[in-house]
Amino acid sequence: MQLTGSVADEAGTEKIWKYNNSVNETAIVSTDIMLWTFPFLRFMPVELGRKYRRAMEAKKALLDQYYLSQKKTYKPGHARGLVDVLFKLQIQENRKGKTQWLTDEQIMAFIQDIITAGIYYKSGDSS
């Protein structure tokens, strides 16, 4: 995978699909409106709360693999994939003392967007 420089194993692929399915579950307009209007439902033992918590667990598992593990093993000068390139840019911005636009949160959002776009493209819905 271009994100990390290696092909996702079975566990990684499963995390990607769990993330995709949970996003699809919570992106349904009726679900999204309810969770946005009544945010306390996220923590209640109701179906909407369970959907939200599944989505957050799937997101955490995905970012643990594609962000945290990459950041822990990052070695400057040895880019394995796109995530490492983003880390390099982040470090360069820090050294220049500029206001940092490429935060950790921004990198995590890029990872999620790239995976979602890849699934969308791969599923054939891009036509």
What residues contact 122, with CB distance under 8 A and at least 6 apart?
Answer: none
Higher pLDDT, 69 or 121: 69
Contact status, residue 52 vs residue 28, Cβ threshold 8 Å: no
What does the pLDDT read at residue 118?
Answer: 83
Tokens of 59: 């997101």
What pTM was estimated for this model as a whole?
A: 0.82
- Residue 85: name the closest of 16, 93, 31 by CA: 93
Higher pLDDT, 84 or 1: 84
Contact status, residue 59 vs residue 112, Cβ threshold 8 Å: yes
Per-residue pLDDT tens for 35-78? Answer: 999 999 999 999 999 999 999 999 999 999 999 999 999 999 88
Tokens of 76: 């400057």
Per-residue pLDDT tens for 85-118? Answer: 999 999 988 888 877 788 999 999 999 999 988 8
CA distance 3 to 70: 10
CA distance 90 to 111: 15
Q: Does residue 7 carry a pLDDT above 60? A: yes
Tally Cβ neighbours within 10 Å of residue 65: 19
Q: What does DSSP assign to residue 42?
A: G
- 36 φ, ψ (degrees, to nearest 5): -75, -45
Q: Provide DSSP, 62-108.
A: HHIIIIIHHHHT--TT---SHHHHHHHHHHHHHHHTPPP-S-HHHHH
